[in-house]
Amino acid sequence: MTESATQPRDVDPETVRSILANTPPGGVTVLDVRQPWEYEQFHLPGATLLPLGELEERMGSVPADKPLIVYCHSGRRSAAAASLLAGRGHPGVMNMLGGVMAWTGATAVGAPQTGLQYYRGDETPEEILALAYAMEAGLGEFYECLASSAATPELAETFSRLAGFEDKHKLMVYHLYKRLHPESATVEDLAGRATAKALEGGRSGEEILADAKSLDGARSALELAMGVEAQAMDLYMRQAALAKDEQAREALLELAREERTHLRSLAVLMDRLGQAPKAAPA
């Protein structure tokens, strides 16, 4: 995807979705050049915030060893940013036409530090996976609570099913953990280390419910779950970009890849309802 140093490439959101779906997490840089309050409302998972007004002085912080997708609200600011980056010799610059106004894929919410309070930055791979296990467990308990208080049997059944998914996700995290200790690691060992009280993606249950427009059926429950999985993928990718230990970084990217798989599974369930997910707010 190497481009001319002076000619960024305009790409539509469908192309961006295809690139992100077919590129391993960490293989492409996604740059959000809007303002912090816009980023906090919603952003593409794993996006780095770098407002256009700060780009000139902070350009050295943008990785130059991988393709770069730049976006904003409508495509105007990102076009300027893409030209600036390409003009300074950054290879593989792509500007997403239409910005988030044209984007209908999964988004995340929150400030750039959302969820990072659970990380020090120098975690071992074991610590990373223990925290991931705790977050999966916390989300499963959250879904069980929602199931027990659901207004309809359909909603209760959907949340119970989502809680079951989290049991499978915990098993996935355990398999990653066992790779580190193939002879001795047990589920009990990992569960004993998973002491953090956190939900997947680093947001509280109250914050998740506050963003839910309604909880009146299977579709709304799946939309809530898709938002959580997108948030989790976003958190792992942001943390991977900050990780100092290469093994820990790889563990975080592996978790991000798994969250992307989970998100696709939920999309399949959504399709089975015969309805598409709602578009992201613009």
Residue 14: CB atoms within 10 A of its CB come to 12
- What's the CA gap between 25 and 66, in Å, rounded? 12
More confident site: 281 or 44: 44
Q: What is the pLDDT at residue 185? A: 83
Q: pLDDT for 136-168, tens place per residue?
A: 999 999 999 999 999 999 999 999 999 999 999
- The architecture of the domain spanning 9-101 is 3-Layer(aba) Sandwich (3.40)
CATH number of 116-272: 1.20.1260.10
Taking residues 157-180, report their average pLDDT: 94
Taking residues 231-254, report their average pLDDT: 92
Q: What is the pLDDT at residue 6? A: 64
72 is catalytic: yes
More confident site: 11 or 269: 11
Look at residue 90 and tell me whether its pLDDT is greater than 60: yes
Look at residue 196 and tell me whether its pLDDT is greater than 90: yes
Domain(s) labelled CATH 1.20.1260.10 in the chain stretch across 116-272
Catalytic residue, candidates 19, 49, 72, 147: 72
Average predicted confidence (pLDDT) for the chain:
89
Structure token pair of residue 244: 């100092």
Domain(s) labelled CATH 3.40.250.10 in the chain stretch across 9-101
Residue 281: CB atoms within 10 A of its CB come to 10
Residue 38: CB atoms within 10 A of its CB come to 16
**Is residue 110 very low, low, confident or very high in pLDDT (cuts 50, 70, 90)?**
confident
Q: Exposure string (b/e) for 238-259, b if CB count within 10 Å is 16 or more? A: bbbeebebeebbebbbbbbbbb
Do 237 and 26 form a contact (C-beta atoms < 8 A)? yes
